[in-house]
Structure formats: structure tokens, C-alpha cells
Amino acid sequence: MPNFIDRRLNPKDRSLGNRQRFLKRVHDELKRTIRDQVKSDKIADVDAAHGVPIPRRGADEPSFRHSGASGERHHVLPGNQTFSPGDRIRKPETGAGGGGNGRGPGRGEATDDFLFILSREEVLDLFFEDLELPDLVKLNLRETVTYKPHRAGLTTSGTPTNINVGRTMRNSFGRRMALRRPSERECRVLADEIAALEGEERLSLSQRNRLTQLRQELEVLERRRRRIAYVDPVDVRFNRFERQPLPNASAVMFCLMDVSASMGEREKDLAKRFFVLLHLFLKRRYERIDIVFIRHTDEAHEVDEETFFFSKQSGGTIVSTALEEMQRIIMDRYPSNLWNIYAAQASDGDNANGDSERCASLLRDELMKLCQYYAYVEIIDERESEIFGTTDNGTSLWRAYRTVDGAVPNFQMTRISRPADIYPVFRKLFARHQPRSVRG
């Protein structure tokens, strides 16, 4: 007789530890792959589960193996139909003597790249590793603190929805044992015996005595059962919840985008890609951040996410309108003593005559006093990127902003000319531990 064991209920995921080790092992490679994918025009896909080919590098297990491309081999194969000794068969041309052409048995094993499905969270974690918003200092300043209920032990009073059944029944069980409440079974045994006696045709004297005695006993038991409740109010326990204030790093990000006619399809695409990345990053890392989208032509509007990314309105260019709109919204809704304020602006640098200076002074004198951090991204032509080799040269807006860059420490400006620039620029702007003096 064999020993049968049912293992189906054993804990699963026995190899979870191994899987994690493996993930850790290929972590760097995965990160690189994802970045490459994003650079090569797949930025919107960041926000999805990814099939990431596991690179062989870092995950291969070397050993002394025979190489397929040398020496003399002998194969014995089944299914000869037409060959006679001495026949010659041309080798397939594919690959330099490569295995897996059906001839080298056991060779060409599945050591190739294989797809590894990462969840959206895993992708984003890898993608945004080491990035953060600089100077997130004004923590817990806002008065409207949010609370979140946390489990905090048990209590004897509460609403019925919060009854802790397990604990209640445990108390009840203990009490019933201690007070010797007769069990259902004891009563049933007596009742059965009584029923048996009652069923008899004629009872002897001893049986009759026994019957009355049993009835009395049953009576006693049942009285006792009535007196000692099955579940007593003293047994009942409720889950207790404590409202804990959540640390509230109130932060707002202003996204300013130029959608004027001078921004061609390419420029808009690049700008949008930049903001998509920023948006994802904020959503991923700072769950409760406010994001304000402002787009401007010759006038600026606050818009919702959908419009910001997908609408196709166009027109002239006055950049300062966007800054004024941002200033208005800050005054309105985000008092700077309570909020960490960030802004990112994308533009092609074209602006109405004389407006660039106005923008610079607006920034320097007003906005930068309110903002924690301001990033300006200019979308330029690839040819321009060669012409504007130095950072001093550039469009009117660029030159005007150069004066701000010099004057204010928490202002950053940079240029993007190709999709491949976006990610490096993004990392540059939001790299962790950038030494930056905190605004006083």
C-alpha cells in the first residue's frame, strides 16, 4: 500500500524567491531595455504591461560547451526513404553551421531571448527609478488634513458592520465552557433516550422511574441552556478603527504648453511626449499631487487632461498669457505658503514681439518667488540644434529665459530636438539629489 499525499493545498509560489532573485539579476538590463523602447517612439506604451525580452546578457549560464561550428559529427536519423551510402546532402545555408536546423539533436536549446511580461507597476518603477521632485519641503502645511482609517485593535462597542466574528465566537466559546453550558449533543442524547422509553408499549417500574428522572435532567439542562446564552453581549467584539492623519505633501504641477501655429506636428508631438512622461511620473510617484494643464496660443486656458493631450486647437503666440494664467490660478487656489508648486513649460521659443522680456520679468519677479522648481523645455529643429551649439544663442524666449536662469537657482532650461532626447532631458530635470539651495 503506497503512501498517498495530497499536496494540492500546500503553499504555492515555492519559487517566488527564485523569481525575485532572477528579476534582481536582470534588473539593470530590464531598465535599459525599457528605456530603449521608450526612446524608440513607444513612449505612450510606458503606461501598459510590457513584454520585455530578457536579454541573454546577465542571465546566461555559461559552461564548457561544444561549439557547433567545428569538427566532425555523426548523426543517426530515422525515416530514410531514398538515400544510399555515399549520397551527399547539401547543408542548409542558414546560419554558420547553426544548430536547431533539425540535424544537431539536442543543440540549439531554448537559450534565446524570451519575452518576460512585466506589469505596468513594475515597468514604471524601473522607468522612474531614482527620480523625484526637488525640494518637496512644505509638508503638512495645509489645514484640511486627510484621514485614513487604520485598524487599531478591538473594542466592545461599535456598529454591527464592524463585528469581529472570529473574536466574538472565541469569547463566546470560552464563556460557554467556563459556565458549563450544556451542549446540544448532551440534550439530544437525553431526548433520544426519553423518546425511546416513550416509544415502549408498556413500561416497567424502573423504566418509568428512569423516564421521570431523565425528564427532570433534561428540564435542568434546558433551563441552564436558557440561562446561559449562546452569544452574550459581553462576548461581542468590534474591530476598532483609528483615523490617522495622512502626511499631506500638497503639491501642484503646472504643465504649460504652447500649441500655437508655429508649433508643427513634430514639435507638438515632442512636447506632448514630454508631458506624458511627466504626467506618468507624477501619477506614479506622487499619488495625490494636483496637476494643472494650461495651453496657450495668443491666449491661455486651463484645460483638462484629455484636451491638453488630444485637442488640436491652434493660433498665434503670446507666451506671457500662460504665465499670467498660472499666476492667477496660484492666487486663486494654491496659496504658495501651503503648496509646493512646480511648473514645466514646453514651447518652440517663438513669441510675439517684446513678449519674451515680459515673460522673463514675470518669471523672475513674480512666479519664481512662488515656485519650488521651474523647468523650461524648448523644442527645436534638429538642424537648429547644431546651429545653437552653445546655450547662449537661440530664440527670443530662450535668450530672455537665460537671464532668469542666471538669476534664480531653481530654474532649469534645456532643449529637445529628437524623441531620443526626451528621456535623458527628463532624467536631467528630475534626477534625485540635485544639490539645490532651498528658496528662503
Partner 1 sequence: MAKRPASSLLFEGSEWNFATLSRAYDAIEAIAIGEMGLDVYPNQIEVISSEQMLDAYSSVGMPLMYQHWSFGKRFVFESHLYRKGYRGLAYELVINSNPCITYLMEENTMPMQALVTAHAAFGHNHFFKNNYLFRQWTDASAILGYMDFAKKYVAKCEERHGPAAVEEILDAAHALMDQGVFHYRRPPRLSSEKVTERARERLEYEEQTYSDLWRTLPTAGGNAGIEAAEQEALERKQALNLPEENLLYFLEKHSLILEPWQREILRIVRVIAQYFYPQGQTKVMNEGCATFVHYFIINRLFDQGRMSEGAMLELLASHANVVFQPDFDDPRFSGLNPYALGFAMMQDIERICTRPTSEDRDWFPTIAGNGDWRGTLLDAWENHRDESFILQYLSPTLMRRFRLFHLTDRADERFCEVASIHDERGYSAVRAALARNYDPGVNRPDIQVVDVDLLGDRQLRLRHSVKHGILLNESDRDATLAHVRRLWGYNVSLSGVDAQTGASLYECSATEA
Residues forming contacts to partner 1 in the complex (CB under 8 A) are 1-8, 10, 12-15, 17-25, 54, 59-81, 83-91, 97, 102-103, 105-106, 110, 114-117
Phi and psi based region of residue 140 (left: phi greater than 0; alpha: psi -120 to 50; beta: remaining): left
What b/e readout covers 51-66, taking b as 16+ CB neighbours within 10 angstroms?
Answer: ebebbeeeeeeeeeee
3-state secondary structure of 369: helix
Closest separation between CB of residue 377 and partner 1, Å? Answer: 38
Closest separation between CB of residue 26 and partner 1, Å? Answer: 8
Q: Which is nearer to partner 1, 15 or 209 (CB)?
A: 15
Q: Which is nearer to partner 1, 79 or 153 (CB)?
A: 79
Closest separation between CB of residue 58 and partner 1, Å? Answer: 10
Q: Which is nearer to partner 1, 103 or 301 (CB)?
A: 103
Cα separations in angstroms, 46 against 30, 34, 66: 13, 8, 41
Instruction: Say how far apart CA 363 and CA 336 lie, in whole Å.
Output: 15
- The x, y and z cell numbers of residue 268, run together, are 507638438
Q: Which is nearer to partner 1, 3 or 437 (CB)?
A: 3
Of 356, 372, 432, 354, the C-alpha closest to 408 is 372
**Residue 320, burial from CB neighbour count under 10 angstroms (0-12, 13-18, 19+):** buried
Q: Which is nearer to partner 1, 64 or 310 (CB)?
A: 64
Instruction: Say how far apart CA 276 and CA 279 lie, in whole Å.
Output: 5
Closest separation between CB of residue 254 and partner 1, Å? Answer: 42
Closest separation between CB of residue 53 and partner 1, Å? Answer: 11
Which run of H or of E encompasses 197? helix 184-199
Of 186, 32, 27, 139, the C-alpha closest to 372 is 139
Q: Give phi and psi for 72, each to the nearest 5.
A: -120, 130
Of 412, 410, 404, 401, the C-alpha closest to 438 is 410
Closest separation between CB of residue 40 and partner 1, Å? Answer: 24
Closest separation between CB of residue 87 and partner 1, Å? Answer: 4
- Number of Cβ within 10 Å of residue 346's Cβ equals 25
Q: Which is nearer to partner 1, 110 or 165 (CB)?
A: 110
Q: Which is nearer to partner 1, 50 or 181 (CB)?
A: 50
Q: Give phi and psi for 65, each to the nearest 5.
A: -125, 150
Pairing of strands 147-155, 238-245: antiparallel
Cα separations in angstroms, 36 against 124, 127, 266, 310: 14, 11, 20, 25
> Are 107 and 99 contacting, i.e. CB atoms less than 8 angstroms apart?
yes
Q: Which is nearer to partner 1, 8 or 226 (CB)?
A: 8
Closest separation between CB of residue 126 and partner 1, Å? Answer: 16
Closest separation between CB of residue 37 and partner 1, Å? Answer: 19
Closest separation between CB of residue 106 and partner 1, Å? Answer: 6
Instruction: Say how far apart CA 17 and CA 414 lie, in whole Å.
Output: 43
Q: Which is nearer to partner 1, 21 or 208 (CB)?
A: 21
Q: Which is nearer to partner 1, 96 or 165 (CB)?
A: 96
